[in-house]
Amino acid sequence: MRRLAVVLGLSLFWGAEALAAPFAGTGHAAIGDKVDALKARDQALERARKAALEAAVEQLGAGDLTARKQVLAAPAVWTRSYRVLRQDDDGATATAMVSVEIDTARLGKALAGAVAGGAVAGKGPSNFILLPALALENSGCPASAEAELRRALLAVGAIRDVAPGSAGPVLSASLSCAAPGSLSYPRVTVVRGELGLKWPAGATPGPSSVRATGLGEDAQAAASDALAGLIGQVTRGMSRGTDGGVRLKIAAPWPAARVRRLERALRESVLGATAVTVAAVGSDGAVTLRVEGGLTAQELQERLAGVQVPGATIVVGEVEASHVVHISLQAAAP
């Protein structure tokens, strides 16, 4: 009865509108001979983010230990949007406190995935649904791509944690990264990535194809950025379906590092922004970012006033066609 109650409770939760909820977390790290203050602060921040995720898991109530373990093994996947409330040290111990916006609907689905797939009370084991293993073909993307994709899919409960070639259903994936031949900008490399997915019968369906544009100082960095965008689209698409988000069109965005800093600032500072990815690079050099999380263009425009980008100032423009916000980035005065 307790097992069924957990599933029922999560089912009722999924029926509600998918909204991100704030969770607090605190982390500590010792400073010593092998760990300086800067590294200890980073460790404390990571532990604070994980503590916030643990609080969210406890609130939802994980019905399956395997699902809980998979989620907690990838805290970065679930805690991308966070605000640092405190980060300091007393010479011996570093401390960090954060407030993290966590997509509780998506998290609830991941936590209940293994429970829902198990045998139903009063019925035989024929109702058991085995999650698929991942089989990936990689063309032109970093060698680490398979491991990164595998970790993200495990975190949302979409695949089994087994070696390639294991018996059972298979999620076939094809990944490609290539530089567009018609685009060339100084001090930036552009890579376009595409991920195709063929879901086996009985598996929870996800997107069949996603595309992302990556930016970086070199091909490796741009490909990694494109991969992060692809993974984000797949994991978000599985929980909320197609969500176009609002667009942020940036005039004079270069160099690429400035765009990267803006993306991070948006994720960390804008309440309601759960993910920020590159949507397009125009022939005039303008970059368009996709901002997801349920914000309207007007809300994003208002909240940009509180965003600080290191080394640059945001000049906010008009809203176009109800879903595009125009901005420009100006170098900050020394």
Q: How confident is the model at residue 96 (pLDDT cuts 50, 70, 90)?
A: very high
Share of the chain above pLDDT 70, in %: 75
Residues 74 and 161 in one domain: no
β-bridge pairing 287-292 and 246-251 = antiparallel
Single residue among 242, 260, 276 that ends a domain in this structure: 242
Q: What is the pLDDT of residue 44?
A: 92
Residues 24 and 109 in one domain: yes
Of 35, 57, 49, the C-alpha closest to 100 is: 49
Domain CATH code at residue 223? 3.30.160
Of 203, 205, 216, the C-alpha closest to 177 is: 216
The arithmetic mean of pLDDT across residues 143-162, rounded, is 78
**DSSP class per residue in 157-204:** T-S----TT-SS-EEEEEEEEE--TT--BTTBEEEEEEEEEEPPTTSP
Q: What is the pLDDT of residue 203?
A: 64
Residues 196 and 140 in one domain: yes
Structural domain span for residue 275:
244-334
Query: What is the average pLDDT value for the chain, to the nearest integer?
Result: 76
Q: How confident is the model at residue 14 (pLDDT cuts 50, 70, 90)?
A: very low
CA distance 80 to 26: 16
CA distance 133 to 168: 7
Greater pLDDT, 311 or 237? 311
Residues 174 and 229 in one domain: yes
β-bridge pairing 189-198 and 209-216 = antiparallel
Residues 40 and 155 in one domain: no
Asked if 238 contacts 131 with a C-beta cutoff of 8 angstroms, the reply is no
CA distance 269 to 55: 21
Residues 300 and 311 in one domain: yes
Single residue among 197, 212, 242 that ends a domain in this structure: 242
Non-local (6+) Cβ contacts of 160 within 8 A are 130, 131, 132, 133, 166, 168
In the block, tokens 């373990």 appear at: 69
Residues 157 and 203 in one domain: yes
Highest mean pLDDT among 16-20, 91-95, 101-105, 328-332: 91-95
CA distance 42 to 221: 22
Residues 235 and 209 in one domain: yes
**311-333 pLDDT tens trace:** 888 999 998 867 889 999 888 76
Residues 232 and 300 in one domain: no
Over 80: is that where the pLDDT of 109 sits? no
In the block, tokens 């007393």 appear at: 90
pTM (whole model) above 0.75: no
Residues 81 and 158 in one domain: no
CA distance 157 to 72: 12
Q: Which residues pair with 248 in a beta bridge?
A: 289, 325
Q: How confident is the model at residue 157 (pLDDT cuts 50, 70, 90)?
A: low
**Cα-flanking dihedrals φ and ψ of residue 26, to 5°?**
-130, 135
Asked if 315 contacts 328 with a C-beta cutoff of 8 angstroms, the reply is yes
| Domains contained in the chain, number | 3
Which segments within the chain are labelled E, that is strand?
20-30, 81-89, 93-103, 133-139, 170-178, 189-198, 209-216, 246-251, 275-281, 287-292, 312-320, 324-331
Cβ-in-10-Å burial (0-12, 13-18, 19+) of 86 comes to exposed
**16-63 pLDDT tens trace:** 333 457 888 999 999 998 889 899 999 999 999 999 998 888 877 655
Q: How confident is the model at residue 185 (pLDDT cuts 50, 70, 90)?
A: low
Q: In which order are the strands placed within the sheet that holds 324-331? A: 275-281, 287-292, 246-251, 324-331, 312-320
Single residue among 242, 277, 305 that ends a domain in this structure: 242
Residues 80 and 151 in one domain: no
Residues 142 and 227 in one domain: yes
